[in-house]
Structure formats: C-alpha cells, structure tokens
Amino acid sequence: MPRSLPDIGAPQSAGGQPASPGTAFARSLPWLLLIGGMIGAGAAFVLTVEKIRLLTDSAYVPSCSINPILSCGSVMTKPQAEAFGFPNPLIGIAGFAIVATIGAAMLAGATFRRWFWLGLQAGTVFGIAFVTWLMIQSLYSIGALCPYCMIVWAVMVPIFIYVTLYNIDHGALPLTRSVRPAAQVLVRYHTVIVTCWFLIIITLILIRFWDYWSSLFR
C-alpha cells in the first residue's frame, strides 16, 4: 500500500542519515511550483495580451515576432493556437496560477492527501502532453517558434518531472513492487532526466531549422 505523503522534510532521515535524493529535491519542489507557476502564468498572460491586440488590429506585429523562425504572430494565427475553441494561453493562466498557489501553500506548511497529489499529477500529465503536441505542431506543421510559448515549455518540463518523481518517491503513484526499483533509479538520477529532455528539445529545434541557423553565419 502506498504510504501517506509526509510534509516536505529536511534533508536528514529519522536516523540522522543523509536523506534520499527524492527527499532532497522534495524540499525544492514548493519553490519550483511557485516560481515555475509564476513564470508560466506570466508568459501565458503576455501571450493573451498579444493575442487580443492581434485580434483588434490585424496589422499589429507581436513583440515576440523577431524573425521568420522566432515569430509569435505566425503561431497565433493558426488553428492550433485555439485547440479547444479559445486561445490556448487562457489554459496556461489558469493552470499555472493553480500550480503557483500550491507551491505557496506548501511553503506555508500545507500538506495534502494522496488524492490531491494524484489530481496534480493528472494536471501535469495533461500539461506536458499539450505542450508536447504544441511543440510538434510548431516544428513540423507551422514551421515557426513562439518565444513566449517556449518559456511555457521550459517551465512545464521540470514541473512535470519533479511532481512525478515526488509522487513516485512518496508512494502516491500505485507502482508494483517489480517496477519500484526502476522508478527509484529515475528518482536518483533526476537531473539526468531533465538534462536529456531539454537536450532533445534543443536538438529537434536545431535540426528542424538548421538551414536558417546556418545561414546566419554565412
């Protein structure tokens, strides 16, 4: 049975031994949720303002339209920018505001039951799936990148990874006994996961727009 989720602990176990990597990064999880949530909500808010200005003035050039590749305007006018019938940034404003609030509550000493962590897990799974879909659309369908959108990608990745690893380490996710050792390896090498994830994204961007990047140095 999964054990109950404890409060964010100190980096020492009950016996005075060094805590596990999961316990160590669990101490930084509230800060990640608070700061990451604020950054994500801020980027989503700016995108919403830019979208409104573009709707009211078709000649408006968004502040994040820098060149043919880094161009928010090229992305905002596509159907993918309103995947659910309204501007995508509205989802980001609401979602990241909730994440930031949870982080602030944890810093204030709040603890949550297992169902709450499973709910947060479901939200982060939706978030990472959605931004991954948007990234694929930007790279291979639209052919342009939105700088503010990439800020959202950059904060969503660690939020998803560390919420998932926290839930693994604290027993919120119902893992079988045979799977748990492998899961603990992921907890131990959490920085490798984050680094590899970002390297994959950067590599995909470089490959997709290599002709443009290389032309800058000719």
Q: Tokens for 196?
A: 């590899």
In this predicted structure, the answer to whether residue 10 has a pLDDT above a threshold of 60 is no
Kindly report, residue by residue over 32-65, the tens digit of the pLDDT.
999 999 999 999 999 999 999 998 988 888 888 8
pLDDT tens for each residue of 73-97: 889 989 999 999 999 999 999 999 9
Neighbours of 172 (CB within 10 A): 24
Domain ranges of the chain: 26-215
CA distance to 69, 73, 87, 139, 145, per residue, from 208 (Å): 10, 19, 26, 7, 11
- What architecture is domain 26-215? Up-down Bundle (1.20)
Cβ–Cβ < 8 Å for 153, 41:
no
> Which of the four pLDDT bands, split at 50, 70 and 90, describes residue 25?
low
What pLDDT digit, counting tens, does each position of 157-201 carry?
Answer: 999 999 999 998 888 888 888 888 888 888 888 899 999 999 999
pLDDT attached to residue 149: 94
The per-residue pLDDT for 24 is: 63
Give me the chain's average pLDDT, please: 87
Number of neighbours of residue 45 by Cβ within 10 angstroms: 17
Instruction: Give the predicted TM-score (pTM) of the model.
Output: 0.87
